């Protein structure tokens, strides 16, 4: 009996808490022998029952909420976490004592996990049941997903963990890290941002009673922090590749130019005449971006990847494949002939050099063509009392004259 009761003392438990929207939510908790309840959700299929909660280092496949306790700071490189200040989110009462962001984090990370499992049969970010952690109450105005691992960081100067599309966005960065691993700069970085926005909206739609996206990433955030798919210009972002913003800030404009493929996705799903609908567009983009791109892929590769995905999913020549090409055309990401990287064959022949030469304020043209028997020093194509070809080269050196331009052709 003693063994029995001690087993009951440390186990899964349920409770409730109020989220940022003021709603009471059901919580999956872990009841520890110290009498406290920990915000550790062990109910997902990925949970490894040989784990020993609340030992953080031995947890596998749980969703854990921890608290940064308003310690650390954000700078231009991102969040600076003070690991020693982090605590579990705990309470002695399962139905009170939870911070609103802890409730948000537990709820929405669970929803994103469910979305990936049910929608794509994907078991967490790495498809191997990687445990997830929401680090809440970090003193900043942003949300982050570090490149590796299952941690999401939520600043407390906004209700970031309450925004399901934002949590879906951050967790999709994790999925991309474990798949195509698009490099987070320039075009590949913009594609990384874009697929995170698209899947963030897909996650929101999946859990929406009407199964709809509102086409704004950051629905619960202030208007200037949102990203519109329908009209990226609302945030000053481009919707066509021709307006691609070249910049050194924001890792090469990753949050700016992502709007181009976001808009492409919108056109494919709903915008174009004969658009194929949200769910099919999600299938095409998710498949294309996670299975057919690599770290340094660019926009033109995203076009080919999505068309290929559409052909595989719906058939070559299908309306879905045709519309995918049309949507990329719409945002000016056109088809291009792949670069021929085979070696250009060498052509046998004589060297021919043409050059410009300045003397006394006048410009002359010179030539050295082996096939015409020109000497090494070349010949002048013009006679203005200049030195003879035989002495010209030495003459250049002595007088400090320099050829001003040079073109070299191998004939």
Chain residues that interact with Zn ion, rule: CB under 5 A: 196
Q: For the CB of residue 138, give the shortest distance to Zn ion in the complex, in Å.
A: 16
255 in active site: yes
Candidates 214, 250, 311, 326; binder of Ca ion (CB under 5 A) is 214
| DSSP secondary structure string for all residues of 285-335 | HHHHHHHS--TT--HHHHHHHHHHHHHHHH-TT-HHHHHHHHHHHHTT---
Instruction: Report residue 401 as tokens.
Output: 């004259």
* Annotated active-site residue in 32, 101, 170, 320: 170
| Number of residues near Ca ion (by CB under 5 A) | 5
> Is residue 299 within 8 Å of residue 333, measured between CB atoms?
yes
Residue 101 is a catalytic residue: no
Q: Are 285 and 328 in contact (CB under 8 A)?
A: no
214: partner contacted, choices Ca ion, Zn ion, none (Cβ within 5-8 A by kind): Ca ion
Q: Choose between 196 and 257: whose C-beta lies nearer to Zn ion.
A: 196
Determine the Cα–Cα distance for residues 199 and 201; give it in Å rounded to an integer: 5
- Cβ proximity to Zn ion: between 94 and 146 the closer is 146
By a kind-dependent CB cut-off of 5 to 8 A, residue 185 interacts, out of Zn ion, Ca ion, none, with none
Closest approach, Cβ 44 to Zn ion, in A, equals 24
Angle (CA) 233 239 240, round 5°? 140
Select the binding partner of residue 165 from Zn ion, Ca ion, none (C-beta < 5 to 8 A, by kind): Ca ion
Inter-residue contact 272 to 266 (CB < 8 Å): no
Q: How far is the CB of 108 from Zn ion (least distance, A)?
A: 16
Helices H / strands E in the chain, number of each: 9, 18
Rounded least distance, CB 169 to Zn ion, Å = 6
Question: With respect to Ca ion, which residue has the nearer C-beta, 216 or 297?
Answer: 216
**Nearby residues of 77 by Cβ (< 8 Å), 6 or more positions away:** none
Distance CA 308, CA 327 (A): 14
Decide which of Zn ion, Ca ion, none touches 219; Cβ closer than 5 to 8 Å per partner kind.
Ca ion
Residues 85-144 that bind Ca ion (CB under 5 A): none
What burial class does residue 305 get, using C-beta atoms within 10 Å of its C-beta: 0-12 exposed, 13-18 middle, 19+ buried?
buried
32, 169, 173, 255: the catalytic one is 255
- CA 256, 190, 116 angle in degrees (round to 5)? 115
Least CB distance from residue 364 to Zn ion, whole Å? 59
Among 10, 219, 235, 359, binds Ca ion (CB under 5 A): 219
Give, as ranges, the residues between 137 and 196 that touch Ca ion (CB under 5 A): 165
Q: Which residues are catalytic?
A: 170, 255
Chain residues that interact with Ca ion, rule: CB under 5 A:
165, 204, 214, 216, 219
């Amino acid at each position: 009996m003693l063994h029995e009761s001690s087993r009951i003392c440390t186990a899964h438990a349920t409770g409730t808490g109020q989220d940022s929207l003021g709603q009471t939510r059901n919580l999956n908790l872990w009841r520890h022998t110290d009498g406290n309840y920990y915000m550790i959700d062990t109910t997902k299929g990925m949970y490894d029952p040989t784990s020993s909660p609340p030992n953080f280092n031995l947890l596998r496949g749980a969703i854990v909420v921890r608290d940064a306790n308003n310690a650390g700071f954000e700078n231009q490189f991102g969040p600076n976490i003070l690991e020693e200040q982090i605590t579990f989110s705990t309470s002695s009462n399962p139905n009170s004592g939870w911070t609103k962001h802890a409730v948000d984090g537990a709820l929405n990370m669970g929803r994103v996990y469910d979305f990936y499992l049910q929608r794509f049969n994907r078991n967490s970010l790495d498809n191997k049941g990687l445990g997830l952690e929401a680090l809440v109450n970090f003193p900043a105005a942003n949300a982050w997903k570090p490149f590796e691992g299952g941690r999401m960081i939520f600043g407390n100067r906004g209700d970031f963990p309450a925004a399901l599309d934002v949590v879906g966005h951050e967790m999709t960065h994790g999925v991309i890290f474990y798949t195509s691993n698009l490099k987070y700069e320039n075009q590949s970085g913009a594609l990384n941002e874009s697929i995170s926005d698209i899947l963030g909206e897909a996650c929101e739609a999946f859990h929406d009673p009407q199964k709809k996206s509102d086409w704004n990433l950051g629905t619960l955030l202030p208007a200037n922090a949102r990203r519109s798919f329908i009209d990226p210009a609302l945030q000053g972002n481009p919707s066509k590749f021709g307006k691609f913003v070249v910049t050194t800030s924001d890792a090469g404009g990753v949050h700016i130019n992502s709007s181009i493929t976001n808009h492409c996705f919108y056109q494919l799903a709903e915008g174009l005449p004969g658009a194929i609908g949200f769910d099919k567009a999600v299938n095409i983009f998710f498949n294309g971006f996670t299975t057919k791109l690599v770290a340094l892929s660019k926009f033109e590769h995203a076009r080919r990847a999505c068309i290929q995905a559409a052909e595989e999913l719906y058939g070559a020549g299908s309306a879905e494949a045709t519309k995918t090409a049309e949507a990329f055309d719409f945002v000016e990401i056109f088809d291009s002939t792949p670069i021929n990287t085979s070696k250009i064959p060498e052509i046998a022949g004589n060297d021919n050099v043409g050059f410009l030469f300045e003397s006394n304020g006048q410009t002359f043209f010179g030539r050295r063509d082996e096939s015409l028997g020109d000497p090494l020093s070349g010949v002048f194509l013009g006679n203005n009392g200049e030195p003879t070809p035989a002495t010209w080269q030495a003459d250049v050196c002595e007088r400090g004259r320099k050829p001003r331009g040079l073109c070299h052709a191998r004939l």
